Chain A
Amino acid sequence: MSQLSSQFEEIKEKNQTINAYITFSDLSDNTSNGKLSGKTIAIKDTISTAGLRTTCASKMLENYIPPFDAHVVSLLKNQGATILGKANCDEFAMGSSTEHSAFGVTRNPHDLERVPGGSSGGSAAAVAGNLADLALGSDTGGSIRCPASFCGIVGLKPTYGLVSRYGLIAYGNSLEQIGPMAKNVHDCALLLECISDYDNRDATCVNTKKIKYTEHLDDDISNMKIAVPKEFFGTGTDPKVEETVRNTIDKLASEGAIVEEINIESIKYSLAAYYIIAMSEASSNLARFDGLRYGLHTGKSKDWNELFSNNRKSGFGFEVKRRIMLGTFALSSGYFDEYYIKAQKVRSIITNDFKKIFDKFDAIVGPTMPTLPFKLGEKLTNPLSMYMSDIDTVSANLAGIPSISVPCGYSDNLPIGIQIMSSHFEEKTLLNLGSKIEQIRGFDVE
């Protein structure tokens, strides 16, 4: 038995407890030589893999095997990565805890009674629990950064348009990006280098100059201007989280960064705007799942209307149905102006506010999550409090700017992540600052 396949057996064993994977690959030999040769990777199950079941953690796609690779998956294969399997997540990426999966919850490797965050919880848990070297997640409102924070790893949501969405099964397509997740900033930068590649099959993909992120990790940060919005430490922020994050910011200041507290008034509307836009888009994106061409098929019905209803009733979980209903409502005539249009107005105000801040500052820093990882089931019956946990992450999705979560400390043996945002296509700044934080925080992630 080769080293890789014995390692694979160990991973499968560990997965019995963590449940990071929904489907394992057949571990086919990757003969390509590249930047990721010898690295193992878990891929979030919202990202299409040719010949490998892609479920979106939904019963609807329980038996769906895509006939094509997402653009990012082709890139990983070309760079020699070994794909271990498909990582668990909230169904269709709708959730912040990976509890809304038709394939069971994923457990946080730091505390098995706690959630790994979501929706890319399987990806984060796989990396944190040593079930993969690297992982791909997707981030619509914080779905990479939240589990990265809760699992004590690095996760980056790229600028909207940096990474091709071709093959990513859409939840809120004006908001989301596929992004890298890794133990450390260097590996995160390396994975970002590999997946940020222009793709003409995604009309929202931007053809920008390729940047070698790994070469900018040690750039000088002195005189870098950092804004700390008061709103990121609002009510509901755990004092232990606030203390750890503020400590880290102080350390950055001692390294020469110029730190200033600011206000971004519009942030208080971000959560409402985010959920309206994401759910509206979802209600339309998920309309294609009717069981007619692929996906769950419940059998013969008296007409197509009944067939669609039966398939969708049986295929979708509760949270997905809730979001489709709310999104359908927000787009309905009579409510459209009051909800969808107003949310888009808020979105452009927030985008403008961020633009103005980045005219003066290089980065915005705050906590990734307002709380420590919560217990399994703790917020499941209270959707509003679950939605509230995205309060610090969604504004980056609304503005389309990049954002990273880097582990900055622990409290009660649970990891805390610091979030950094920068201007469009300034991922370099995030990784540079993230790398500095790794050097000054005083611990290593094993």
Chain B
Amino acid sequence: MLSNDFDGVKIGLEIHCQLTALNTKMFCNCSSDYRGKPPNTLLCTVCTGLPGALPVLNKRALEAAIKIGLALNCKISNNSNFFRKNYFYPDSPKNYQITQYDKAGGEAIANNGTVETNLGSVRITRIQMEEDPGKLQYEGSITTSSNTLIDYNRAGISLVEIVTEPDIVSPKHAREFLNTIQSIVETIGECDSKLDGSMRADANVSISDGRRVEIKNISSFKEVERALNFEITRQKTIQAASKMETRHWDDVRRVTVTLRVKEDEEGYRYFPDPDLPPMNISENYIDEFRQSLPELPDKRLKRFTKEIKLSEEIARILIRNKIVADYFEETLTHEYNPKLLSGWIATDIMGYLNRNNVEFSDLPIESKALASLAKSVSDSKINDSTAKAILLKSLSSGTTIGDLLKSELDNLVSFDDLPKIIDTVISDNPKALEDAKNDSQAIHFLIGQVMKVTKGRANHSKVKELIETKLK
């Protein structure tokens, strides 16, 4: 697809983000660590909606939502409140969901933010808190199963929903934006996006004439770009093909998700939840979080390019994943060679991991070991290409950098023995010494002779350095 095919495209996203750092559910004290647990074992009177049980807000959920709001440059509401979204569905034990609302006196926890990406900034409409429903499960497949099984372990897990303005201009931009959000929530430490189902997105797409289609429940961020590409192509194709058949297009519109969803939105009978009084959030309370906010990716990017002087390209690769950027900074504490270390991490290591489908968190090389490799280069014990070879060998063989480096260094002729060998080579080749004095390129013959005598086991730069002293 040509880039101008996205002219006039406006994309908005709704991102559901589980607050995975919390220990308990949003409105009760049940454990929120539900993954892999036997069905219906993390339940209480509140999250199963027993008559007379009442929800009490988990303060950590509020803290996490405020932190995410601040990180996305939102205004935190001082008088945020909860609403009920009413609908009958078996995954919802109360047959309503506790959520937030932007109308009828509703106030989401955070509003009016912006997120910068390298493809343009995206305004955040609001961030709202809500509870996850339970999970429906089918024996075999949904069509053949005679029973629906319900697991309420997930019911009541804390979520924030991040709603954007339709500022996203292409599917690629959407992907870039999602990566940025992911990196931000991970930096704050409130959402581990690697956990299955911890981040989900809905998208809405409209083309220049204002038609809007929603794509619901896209299961992973990787699929968002693909789904958007498909939807935009489909819309444009239909438009082009049916210019004379406007009515046909209208018919199609009637069955698109958008209309149905719109009707649903109005049918949810939102109203303020009387069990949860509005949250009085003081500016002082918000300030505490503002001050304790960790360095966010865009700030880190600036520091990497301005202070550490990395190239923008390398810096972006590093900050995209908090673990990677943290690892890089850890190596610097052992050996301050940012250029070498950032290059190894961003290209050699990440390239290897991507090719082999390994997560960075599973990287077997400790930051200290990688730093020691860099130090050997700084100390001229080995050269760049030898170091890189050791790194790649360590990655593929699993042998530690320490062991590889040791055998490499053990193999080298010691620095103490080098002057004697060089003296012998020079006395065997007196003419070459004279040539080298006149022609700087001629030194390579002498270096070559030394390497030949030592069978390549001499440190190249050390040899060069020593011969150069003889030329003066």
Contact = CB atoms under 8 A, between A and B. Distances in A.
Interface of A: 47-48, 54, 56, 61, 64, 66-68, 70, 165-170, 172-174, 200-204, 280-281, 283-284, 287-290, 292-294, 304-305, 308, 328, 331-334, 336, 340-341
A331 B52 contact: no
B90 interface: yes
A203 B266 contact: no
A200 B280 CA distance: 17
Interface in B101-147: 104
A293 B94 CA distance: 10
B442 interface: no
A336 B104 contact: yes
Contact of B277 (A48, A61, A204): A204
B96 A203 contact: no
Given A281-B274, A284-B84, A288-B95, 17 more contacts: A56-B51, A61-B51, A68-B50, A167-B52, A170-B51, A284-B269, A284-B271, A287-B86, A287-B96, A288-B93, A290-B90, A290-B95, A293-B48, A332-B269, A333-B267, A336-B104, A341-B104
CB-based closest 7 A-B pairs: A174-B274, A287-B95, A333-B266, A331-B269, A169-B51, A167-B52, A173-B274
A294 to B, nearest CB: 7
B53 interface: yes
B95 to A, nearest CB: 4
B166 interface: no
Contacts of B313: none
Interface of B: 45, 48-57, 84, 86, 88-90, 93-96, 104, 148, 150, 266-267, 269-271, 274-277
B271 A340 contact: yes
A287 B54 contact: no
Nearest to A175: B274
A166 B53 contact: yes
B51 A288 contact: yes
B275 A203 contact: yes
A293 B54 contact: no
A161 B88 CA distance: 30
A89 to B, nearest CB: 14
Contacts of B50: 66-68, 293-294
A366 B86 CA distance: 39
B440 to A, nearest CB: 82
Contacts of B52: 47-48, 66, 68, 70, 165-170
Contacts of B84: 284
19 contacts: A54-B51, A66-B52, A67-B45, A166-B52, A167-B53, A170-B51, A202-B56, A204-B275, A283-B269, A284-B84, A284-B86, A284-B96, A287-B96, A288-B51, A294-B50, A304-B148, A305-B88, A333-B267, A340-B271
A199 B268 CA distance: 31
A331 B270 CA distance: 7
A168 B275 CA distance: 12
B264 to A, nearest CB: 11
A293 B266 contact: no
Given A284-B271, A292-B90, A333-B266, A203 B95 contact: no
A165 to B, nearest CB: 6
Nearest to A294: B50
Classify the secondary structure of A's interface with B: loop
Given A284-B84, A287-B95, A331-B86, A203 B57 contact: yes
A201 B54 CA distance: 7
B94 A200 contact: no
A200 B274 contact: no
Contacts of A203: 54-57, 275-277
Contacts of A61: 51
Nearest to B263: A333
Nearest to B276: A203
Contacts of B266: 333-334
Contacts of B55: 203
Contact of A290 (B48, B54, B88): B88
A436 to B, nearest CB: 35
B269 A202 contact: no
A305 B50 CA distance: 20
Given A67-B45, A284-B84, A200 B90 contact: no
Contacts of A64: 51
B144 to A, nearest CB: 15
A204 B82 CA distance: 13
A328 B269 contact: yes
A201 B56 contact: yes
A288 B148 CA distance: 18
A289 B84 CA distance: 16
Given A66-B52, A288-B95, A173 B275 contact: yes
Contacts of A201: 54, 56
A172 B48 CA distance: 20
B54 A288 contact: no
Contacts of A336: 104, 269, 271
A67 B45 CA distance: 8
A165 B55 CA distance: 11
A169 B88 CA distance: 19
Contacts of B274: 172-174, 204, 281
A165 B54 contact: yes
Contacts of A170: 51-52, 275
A292 B152 CA distance: 12
B418 to A, nearest CB: 77
A174 B278 CA distance: 13
A287 B51 contact: no
A161 to B, nearest CB: 9
Contacts of B95: 287-288, 290
A290 B52 CA distance: 15
Contacts of A293: 48-50, 93
Contacts of A283: 86, 269
B251 to A, nearest CB: 25
B155 to A, nearest CB: 11
Contacts of B89: 304
A47 B51 CA distance: 9
Nearest to A327: B269
A169 B52 CA distance: 4
A168 B53 CA distance: 8
Contact of B49 (A202, A204, A288, A308): A288
Contacts of A54: 51
A399 to B, nearest CB: 15
